């Protein structure tokens, strides 16, 4: 069995700058690593495609933190909406039921109908750039997906700064006591917000997803609030980084940028490559062993937490030729940036559409686009958690 990885390795500046380089030397030591997770939880990390794919769809690995996670008991609070009653936090048959209900409202048609609006918001945001420079995350990559998800759900987009703060706290749990307090406050605020809004939509329905879910009357209030929080958070914490990480990948690889400009029909393929090369979700959300099991010869006791490094899986050299090279013409791209199995991302069609429109339009409208800072000045969010993304991306054009 390989040595335990110290939990801190996920928080080093080296890791947040380039996790892939940190994983490369580990590959020879085995695909499954115990992690020294504080305070003494059994945790494991899988870094190869074969076992990662199998684990993402293994019914013995439960998403139900309330039943299996010591981890859950350490960080969650009684009012913790995210680890509660939404599809990403439960197993079948609840998962099947919750996903089916939300899928009825979140249809491919409803998503496709958003296309002109996504284009319009993109155009407006780019038109508001001023003076040949922009901070691409704050001025573009963040507002676009949050405006879209707010409009889809029926949440006032003016409230987006509130969500940004709440969701940053909810999505990156840490063990600091002060942080737990702030998380608890964010969870309470989000719950109160959605409780009020769903009451309003029940009284006066509109053409939005909250009204559609309320009208179905198939979710308990807790499930409704938990689901809305999941959609809001999943809908923007990720897509912002598809745009940010994708644009940075192009700016660092000018040959690929020129190729994409010359052949815009490669855009859908390029977005798949951005997802593989430096996707927004570095590791899957946690799973818990519902029984003792063995993965690639490593014994995993019941109750242990298991993470799949989606980032490392996307760079597995046994599946992807030249995995560290950005190649927007890559065929047979078997990335798992949207997960795999029953929890495969429900928002993938929306995220793909937003990523294609955002990056395609930026390249069209800003022919001189280039990085507005040095490599050393780039800073990554030190999440140590699931989401991977920059804290700022200054550009010139
Ligand atoms: C699930 C990635 C955008 C809604 C997931 C999972 C991943 C993922 C990896 C599975 C997690 C796991 O199994 O542990 C992404 C990426 C996105 C993105 C990379 C953007 C590029 C979105 C958007 C929405 C969304 C825009 C909705 C508005 C969901 C939901 C689930 C999910 C509801 C749970 C599905 C289930 O449990 O059945 N996403 N996501 N995602 N995502 Fe996304």
Strands 41-46 and 305-308, by their bridges, are: parallel
Q: Which two tokens stand for residue 287?
A: 């799973």
- The preferred substitution site among 234, 280, 342, 351 for testing ligand 1, maximizing ligand atoms within 8 Å of CB, is 234
- Compute the distance between CA of residue 209 and CA of residue 153 in angstroms, rounded to an integer: 5
CA–centroid distance, residue 143 to ligand 1 (Å): 18
| Of the candidates 6, 78, 73, the residue with the CA atom closest to the CA atom of residue 35 | 6
CA–centroid distance, residue 278 to ligand 1 (Å): 16
Given this model, what pLDDT does residue 357 score? 98
- Compute the distance between CA of residue 122 and CA of residue 316 in angstroms, rounded to an integer: 34
End-to-end, the C-alpha distance of the chain in Å comes to: 51
The whole-angstrom distance between residue 342's C-alpha and the CA centroid of its chain comes to 16
Q: Tell me how many domains the chain contains.
A: 1
Given this model, what pLDDT does residue 179 score? 75
286 Cα nearest atom in ligand 1: 14
- 325 CB contacts (<8 Å, ≥6 apart)? none
Q: Please report the ipTM that was assigned to this predicted complex.
A: 0.99
Domain of 105? 5-396
Supply the CATH number for residue 175's domain: 1.10.630.10
Instruction: Look at ligand 1, atom 36, and give the residue with the nearest C-alpha.
Output: 343
What are the tens digits of pLDDT across the range 122-150?
999 999 998 899 999 999 999 999 999 99
Number of CB atoms found within 10 A of residue 298's CB = 17
**Beta-strand (E) ranges in the chain?**
5-6, 32-37, 41-46, 61-62, 133-135, 287-289, 293-295, 298-300, 305-308, 370-371, 379-380, 390-392, 394-396
pLDDT at 168 over 80: no
- Compute the distance between CA of residue 287 and CA of residue 199 in angstroms, rounded to an integer: 33
What are the tens digits of pLDDT across the range 9-39?
777 888 888 999 999 999 989 899 999 877 6
Sheet holding 370-371, edge to edge: 133-135, 394-396, 370-371
Sign of CA dihedral 65, 70, 76, 79: positive
| Of the candidates 298, 301, 277, the residue with the CA atom closest to the CA atom of residue 29 | 298
* pTM, rounded to two decimals: 0.95
């Amino acid at each position: 069995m390989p040595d335990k990885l110290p939990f801190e390795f996920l928080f080093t500046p080296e890791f947040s700058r380039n996790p892939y380089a940190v994983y490369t030397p580990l590959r020879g030591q085995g695909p499954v690593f115990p992690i020294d997770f504080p305070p003494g939880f059994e945790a494991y990390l899988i870094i190869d495609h074969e076992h990662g794919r199998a684990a993402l769809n293994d019914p013995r690995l439960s998403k139900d933190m309330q039943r299996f996670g010591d981890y859950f008991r350490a960080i969650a609070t009684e009012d913790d909406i995210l680890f509660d009653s939404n599809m990403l936090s439960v197993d079948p048959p609840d998962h099947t039921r919750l996903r089916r209900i939300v899928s009825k409202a979140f249809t491919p048609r409803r998503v496709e109908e958003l296309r002109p609006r996504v284009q319009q918001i993109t155009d407006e945001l780019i038109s508001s750039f001023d003076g040949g420079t922009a901070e691409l995350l704050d001025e573009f990559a963040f507002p676009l997906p949050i405006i879209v998800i707010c409009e889809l759900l029926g949440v006032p987009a003016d409230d987006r700064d509130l969500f940004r703060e709440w969701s940053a706290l909810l999505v990156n749990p840490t063990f600091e006591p002060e942080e737990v307090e702030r998380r608890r406050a964010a969870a309470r605020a989000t719950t109160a917000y959605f409780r009020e809004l769903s009451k309003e939509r029940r009284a006066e329905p509109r053409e939005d997803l909250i009204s559609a879910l309320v009208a179905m009357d198939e979710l308990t209030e807790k499930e409704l609030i938990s689901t809305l929080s999941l959609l809001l958070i999943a809908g923007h914490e990720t897509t912002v980084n598809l745009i940010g990480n994708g644009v940075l990948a192009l700016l660092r690889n000018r040959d690929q940028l020129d190729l994409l400009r010359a052949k815009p029909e490669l855009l859908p393929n390029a977005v798949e490559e951005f997802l593989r090369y430096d996707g927004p979700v570095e590791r899957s959300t946690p799973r818990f062993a519902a029984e003792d099991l063995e993965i690639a010869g490593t014994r995993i006791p019941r109750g242990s937490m298991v993470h799949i490094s989606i980032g490392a899986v996307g760079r597995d050299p046994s599946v992807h030729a030249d995995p560290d090279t950005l190649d927007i013409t890559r065929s047979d791209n078997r990335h798992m940036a949207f997960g795999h199995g029953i929890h495969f991302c429900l928002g993938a069609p929306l995220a793909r559409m937003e990523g294609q429109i955002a990056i395609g339009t930026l390249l069209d409208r800003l022919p001189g686009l280039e990085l507005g800072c040095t490599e050393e000045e780039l800073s990554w969010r030190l999440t140590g958690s699931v989401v991977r993304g920059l804290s700022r991306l200054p550009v010139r054009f």
